[in-house]
Chains A and B, each alone.
Chain A
Amino acid sequence: MTTATKESLRTVKGRPQLFTSYAREMSIFNTRVKRNWVIVAIIAMAIIPFFLTRDWVALLTTVLIFAIGGIGLNILTGYAGQVSLGQAFFMGVGAYTAAVLGGEAQGKVIGLGLDMIIWLPLAGLVPALVAFVLAPLAARVRGLYLAILTLGLVFIGEHIFKEAKPITGGAGVGRAPAEPVFLGFNLFSNQTILGYRIDRFTVFYVACLVIFLVMAFGARNFVRSRFGRNFAAVRDRDVAAEVMGVSLLRTKTLAFTVSSFYAGISGALLSIVIGRISPETWNIFLSIDFLAVVFIGGLATISGSIMGAVFVVMLPKLVNTLTGFIPGFGGIGEGGLLNVFELQTIIFGLLIILFLILEPRGLYGLWLRLRNYFKAWPFSY
């Protein structure tokens, strides 16, 4: 960076939107307000679990994990424009990689019991490698063909998971996930710090938060790089991108690989929260959940994926609470109009449809509208 651009990186007081250089505009925190609010949000996320009950903390942990997987899918679907229904498959590969390397051997099930510092990166790298091998195939097809191809992958993957009994425990049986022991420190055990007793779920939440922040900032940084611009070019018009010298094969391979890395990490962490993983976990409905995270949250925004994850994970809890007040709904059996699970699923489906029809930019779009309303207030019409 030359001195001239360094000079232009300074902000002008009272003019947050005045960018005097491209580097300034493209930086992660291009306004001071954004930076401050992100810091506040991170501090809030770090403090909040200490005031909540155990099941809420577990739910928030799931939110973080879904956000990681959602960001991964958003890199592929939102930024590079390749719709994939195969997220569940790559999550499964990640979870089983982690379980084999970091889990304990039980009976015929393999488990090496290695440290998290080994299994966590590999839980991302092995799915990424699988995706890299499959990518030339995926790069040949576009749009909906890729969705169908990855759908097939989920079914084939489910079959392999069911049959590879030494790795997965087999259908209906399952196996224990990896042990989150990081450099000898168990991240899923009760701790006592300065006389305070900290629940194991809270400890694991904090660990997931750290991983999530690294992954989220990594993704945000990645998509504003040269590769991110290549993705956008391929998404907007692949033929034009190729004419401009962007290699389609290389770009799609990269998007597919990076996305699967995120999926793998997400799958490995999710398996720990679930507690025991069976091959049926990684089915088409999990993929649909992640598609919902991306589409409800907003395509091609990292913060949108986080909002989407909050929404998708919290929705069942919300519906569960609300149904207590509405007659005709609720209960878990056959009685009433719909039970809680059915109501959740229907609302989930409706929201996917409504967001796509009414606000294609998703929750992020709603946030933009809200922000612009107050920005222009009192002349917001």
Chain B
Amino acid sequence: MTDLIESLVRGLGLGGLYAVLGVSFVIVYRATGVINFATPALMILGAFFTGSFGNAIGLPFWLSVLLGMAVMAIIGMVIERIALRPMVGRPAFSAATVTVGVFIILLIVAGRLIGSELLTVNDPFGLNTVDVLGARLFTVDIARLVIALVAIGIVGLFLTRSRTGLAMRATAFDQETSLAQGINVGRMFGLSWGIAAAMAALAGALLTAGSSGVETTVALVALKALPVIILGGLDSIKGSVIAGLIIGIAESLTRTYQPIYAPWLGANFDVIVPYLIMIIVLMVRPYGLYGTKEVVRV
């Protein structure tokens, strides 16, 4: 029983992380129709900035996370302006390939910036635990879930309640009509990249919290948000929260129980569970739980 509770909470923490990354993907996809393969690198870069603000300047964790998100938002907007804006009107897969190029450049830059020294994000959680019903829970997992839900809530409020959010949703719905209504569509693209990069930075900080330090090797963790958005629906923020939690729990439960009940599946099988779920979803329901079913016409 304690095993179950512990792995459920760890799964929820992981799920919160995936949900944040999923929202990052969804926002860019809704605005521009592009899957942003640069997200893993944005995440690592965000973790680096958070860690730098925390260690070099000595800011508290909360402030350094917010500053890291702000810096990444600016970087995201710059990337959009330089590399993605010229691709407007081109096939979506060409633009997606551009983000692959951005990914490998940023990953090298991040690796170079981090260097060989250990860089922690200076989080207050560390390896602290709390006891609930006899189970030892890591505070970092609870913090991940709470922070993720709060951040996604703020983004959701911004999109539904604010004027700019309305303009962003209009742009996602129909670019030409939005232009005709006086919305600066280009600025909305930039803004969505900014929000996405900030969310990626938050994910980076949450991922690195409670671990030994920032490393570029964990970048590919961010790609697990792809199964999340496939399950949740490519254009649904609600979907990516629910799917993030489902996939996080599934991965965590596999990590706890697969070595006991199905050792023949091999070590670290939990790492590929999200992708297996994704394949099943694509077979059964290609547009995900909450995604808009694609309408095609000639």
A residues within 8 Å of B by Cβ?
A: 77, 83, 137, 140-141, 143-145, 147-149, 151-153, 155-156, 159, 162-163, 237-240, 243, 284-285, 288, 291, 295, 334, 338, 342, 345-346, 348-353, 356-357, 360
Contacts and interface: CB of A to CB of B under 8 A. Distances in A.
Interface in B129-176: none
A159 B105 contact: no
Nearest to B271: A159
A237 B296 CA distance: 10
Interface string B69-113: 000000000000001001100101111111011111100110110
A295 B97 contact: yes
Contacts of A83: 93, 96-97
Question: Which of B87, B265, B298 has the largest count of A CB atoms less than 10 A from its CB?
Answer: B298
12 contacts: A143-B92, A144-B92, A148-B230, A153-B275, A155-B275, A159-B268, A237-B298, A239-B298, A288-B104, A346-B109, A349-B101, A353-B105
B112 A349 contact: no
B157 to A, nearest CB: 28
B102 A349 contact: yes
A160 to B, nearest CB: 8
Contact of A147 (B35, B116, B272): B35
B116 A334 contact: yes
B278 interface: yes
B282 A140 contact: yes
A352 B109 CA distance: 17
Determine chain B's interface SS by DSSP, over half rule: helix
Contact of A288 (B100, B275, B283): B100
Contacts of A155: 223, 271-272, 275
Give the top 8 A-B pairs by smallest Cβ distance, nearest first: A163-B266, A352-B101, A152-B275, A349-B105, A349-B104, A353-B101, A83-B93, A349-B101
A145 B282 contact: yes
Given A155-B271, A285-B104, A346-B105, 6 more contacts: A140-B286, A144-B34, A148-B226, A149-B279, A295-B97, A338-B108
Contact of B94 (A137, A151, A159, A356): A356
B96 A149 contact: no
A147 B93 contact: yes
B58 interface: no
A352 B100 contact: yes
Nearest to A338: B112
B179 interface: no
B220 interface: yes
A89 B230 CA distance: 21
Contacts of B87: 356-357
B97 A345 contact: no
A350 B105 contact: yes
B115 interface: yes
B90 A350 contact: no
Given A334-B115, A342-B112, A357 B104 contact: no
A137 B279 CA distance: 8
Contacts of A162: 266
A284 B268 contact: no
Given A147-B96, A163-B267, A353 B102 contact: yes
Nearest to B34: A144
A148 B297 contact: no
A152 B105 contact: no
A357 B98 contact: yes
Contacts of A350: 101, 105
B190 interface: no
Contacts of A147: 35, 93, 96
B108 A346 contact: yes
Given A137-B282, A334-B116, A346-B105, A145 B93 contact: no
Question: Which of A137, A159, A162 has the largest count of B CB atoms less than 10 A from its CB?
Answer: A159
Contacts of A239: 296-298
B84 to A, nearest CB: 9
B33 to A, nearest CB: 8
Contacts of A159: 266, 268-269, 271-272
A345 B102 CA distance: 11
Contacts of B109: 346
Interface in B257-277: 265-269, 271-272, 275-276
Question: Which of A77, A83, A156, A356 has the largest count of B CB atoms less than 10 A from its CB?
Answer: A356
A321 B80 CA distance: 33
B51 interface: no
A350 B267 CA distance: 37
B104 A345 contact: yes
Interface in B192-235: 220, 223, 226-227, 230
Contacts of A342: 108, 111-112
Contact of B93 (A144, A163, A357): A144
B97 A352 contact: yes
A83 B34 CA distance: 13
A143 B111 CA distance: 31
B90 A141 contact: no
A156 B97 CA distance: 22
B181 to A, nearest CB: 28
Contacts of B297: 239
B37 to A, nearest CB: 8
Given A145-B282, A156-B275, A151 B90 contact: no
Nearest to B280: A137
Given A352-B98, A353-B98, A357-B87, A145 B112 contact: no
A200 B269 CA distance: 41
Question: Which of B90, B103, B104, B276 has the largest count of A CB atoms less than 10 A from its CB?
Answer: B104
Question: Which of B86, B96, B97 has the largest count of A CB atoms less than 10 A from its CB?
Answer: B97
Given A145-B282, A148-B230, A163-B267, A353 B116 contact: no
B104 A151 contact: no
A55 to B, nearest CB: 25
Nearest to A333: B116
A140 B283 CA distance: 8
